[in-house]
Amino acid sequence: MPKLNIYVDDDLAKRIKEYNLPLSQICQNALWQAVEETETAVCGYDCRQPAVFFIQGEGGSVYACRKHLTTLLTEGISTVRSI
Ligand SMILES: [Zn+2]
């Protein structure tokens, strides 16, 4: 099984240890959820087309199709990631 490293802030690391949380299982569950969400993502602009971009802006994040990405490029997008 591959080993991955993650970085967390000091306070979170302290609290994870304090509560003796099963870190690998929690992370694996969250990562599976993120992968499955990405694989089934549809555009968040009511067109229901398959999403091809994940967009992170000041107001939050959204999946978008190629058509709506063009529209969003004028709205102050801070991060765009192809999926
Ligand atoms: Zn769309």
Q: What is the pLDDT of residues 26-54, one digit of tens each?
A: 999 999 998 998 889 999 888 889 998 88
**Of 16, 74, 77, 17, residue with least CA distance to 62:** 77
Q: Left if phi > 0, otherwise alpha if psi is -120 to 50, otherwise beta: which for 27?
A: alpha
Query: How far, in Å, from the CA of 36 to the mean position of ligand 1?
Result: 19
Query: How far, in Å, from the CA of 73 to the mean position of ligand 1?
Result: 13
Distance CA 49, CA 57 (A): 20
Phi/psi at 31 (5° precision): -70, -40
Q: If you ran DSSP here, which 8-state letter would residue 64 be given?
A: E
pLDDT tens digits for range 55-64: 887 777 888 8
Query: How far, in Å, from the CA of 10 to the mean position of ligand 1?
Result: 39
Query: How far, in Å, from the CA of 2 to the mean position of ligand 1?
Result: 36
